[in-house]
Structure 1
Amino acid sequence: MNQVQLLFWLRSRWRQLLLTLGLIGLAWWAGQIFGNYYYLEQVNLLSSRLEESQQRSNKVTAELNEQLKQNDYLTAELAVEKSASQLLQKDLKAQQQKLFDTRKELAFYQRIMSSEPQASGVLIDSFSISKGAAPGNYRFNLVLIQQDQQRKFAKGTLELTLSGWQQDQKANQDLLKLAGFSKSDKAFSFKYFQIIEGEFSLPEGFAAEKIEVQLKVAGNRSSRIEKSFFWPNGQSGEILE
């Protein structure tokens, strides 16, 4: 088709072409309106859902904050009650310890003033082992009392023999020597009571079992007093006979 024929064809078809172009434009415009409307509906729907989700989130956050406040209040209240309970328990233990110490002290002086003294008048009241100041060291505490009604000075000498095992053999150790006592330090002299203390360490490889306390009391008739105590296992403290 040449240009002349094309022009004649366009002249004869221009109304149809305009109508077609108009319909195409109308369809495009309708599509735009429908697309925009659908887009707005989706945006509104998503916005509504987002708002609902935000409201639920705010509600949950508020409930969580309230629970946290309640938890903080209960935690603080529990801490106060626990602290008060600990203080009461501590005070109770202190009072119990004070009562125990008072009774122990009273019993101690009752033994000193006893009307039925031992034959020698001297008594081994207590012996204890505790941890020393340096690691691996031990501290001993020996209490001697006199029950003689005349209250003369009780004099004599003291021996502490530590028995146990070393290299699978029975062995003995002079505990006072381990504690650095000299020969003169082993002498005692007192009227009512005397406390003898010292610190020592066990020889390497020595496993202690018991301590033999021996008192040689001087007098018109010298007497010998002996008492054995077991070595404490695990915990330090007073050794029981």
Structure 2
Amino acid sequence: MTVVKGSKQYPLKIVKYRPWRRAAGIVVASFCLVAGVFASYYIGHREGMAGQEQALLDVARLEKELSSNARAMEDLKQQNANLNLGAVVDRQASEGVRQEVISLKDELAKLQEENSFYRNLMAPTGNKRGLTFGAVEIVDTDTPRSYQFKVVMQQLATNHQLLNGTLSFNVIGKLDGLDASFSLNQLSEQVSSDTIRLRFKYFQTVQGQLSLPVGFEPERIELVAKTTGNKPVTAEKRFGWLVEEA
């Protein structure tokens, strides 16, 4: 063997050539790579599906809770509406009962007044005898400065006789700041003269409607009743201008 001086010598190894091993290695590596990719995809897909399924379950649960809460809210609204309606009905019922009680009290008061009126007519007490004034009323109307009036004349006696006489009805007040007096026939179309004829045994009611002139402020009413006959009687009375509501 020829040796060349000055060059370094390296050991040599002779390997048998096997080309199929390289191909197999490439195949195995490729398989491992594909398997890894598939495994990663599968695991990710499975986890994603699991997460999506859980999300769907959560959505379904929330929708169920929302529906339940909505029903509960509607129930509460209905209960509140029922309570409000019940309160309104109770108030209306209470108001109806209150108005009925007031009406019954008014009716009872009128009956008691009428009973007292007739009892005094038939059996007067004290020194009250002969011609007297009963109820005197001035009641407001819907028309401005227009009023309903009523005067009841009565005879208090144990032995009633037919009375004849007259009644004068005057309203006293101020007209544009000055003293003024108007007789009933000047204020009411239902009265034609300055005196009203009286003819009764127990009682007589004089009533109608009067209207006050513009600028006139009433202060009082003056009534004078006179009987005719052998023993004439005069009864006088003054009332402040007090208006009752209709």
Q: Deviations over 1:104-128 (max 9, x none)?
A: 1111112212154545x11101110
- Match of residue 53, structure 1, among 50, 62, 87: 62
Q: Which runs of 5+ in 1 are unaligned?
A: 1-24
Q: CA deviation at 1:205?
A: 1.2
1:226 aligns with 2:233: no
Q: Distance in 2 between matches of 1:169 and 1:43?
A: 100
- 1:1-241 equivalent positions in 2, closer than 5 A: 43-44=52-53, 46-113=55-122, 114-116=124-126, 118=128, 121-132=130-141, 134=143, 136-180=145-189, 181-183=191-193, 186-232=196-242, 235-236=244-245
SS in 2 for 1:220: coil
Equivalent AA in structure 2 for residue 124 of structure 1: F
SS in 2 for 1:53: helix
Amino-acid identity (%): 23
- Provide the TM-score with structure 2 as the length reference: 0.71
- Provide the TM-score with structure 1 as the length reference: 0.72
Q: Which moved more, 1:75-84 or 1:185-194?
A: 75-84
Number of aligned residue pairs: 222
Q: Distance in 2 between matches of 1:100 and 1:110?
A: 15
Q: Which runs of 5+ in 2 are unaligned?
A: 1-33
Q: Report if aligned partners of 2:168, 2:194 keep a CA contact under 8 Å in 1.
A: no
Q: CA deviation at 1:199?
A: 0.6
Q: CA deviation at 1:211?
A: 0.9
Q: Report if aligned partners of 1:159, 1:176 keep a CA contact under 8 Å in 2.
A: no
Q: CA deviation at 1:53?
A: 2.8
Q: Distance in 2 between matches of 1:187 and 1:232?
A: 25
Q: Deviations over 1:54-75 (max 9, x none)?
A: 2221221122233234334434
Q: Distance in 2 between matches of 1:39 and 1:188?
A: 112
Q: Deviations over 1:154-176 (max 9, x none)?
A: 22111111111221222211133
Q: Provide closer, same or farther for how the CA distance between residues 130 and 161 of structure 1 changes in structure 2, counting only shifts above 3 A.
A: same
Q: Distance in 2 between matches of 1:133 and 1:71?
A: 42
Q: Distance in 1 between matches of 2:205 and 2:63?
A: 80
Q: Distance in 1 between matches of 2:182 and 2:36?
A: 117
Q: Provide closer, same or farther for how the CA distance between residues 105 and 42 of structure 1 changes in structure 2, counting only shifts above 3 A.
A: same
Whose helix proportion is higher, 1 or 2?
A: 1
Q: Provide closer, same or farther for how the CA distance between residues 163 and 27 of structure 1 changes in structure 2, counting only shifts above 3 A.
A: farther
Q: Distance in 1 between matches of 2:40 and 2:96?
A: 82
Q: Aligned-residue CA RMSD in angstroms?
A: 3.7
* Greater C-alpha Rg: 2
Q: Report if aligned partners of 1:160, 1:175 keep a CA contact under 8 Å in 2.
A: yes
Q: Report if aligned partners of 2:133, 2:153 keep a CA contact under 8 Å in 1.
A: yes
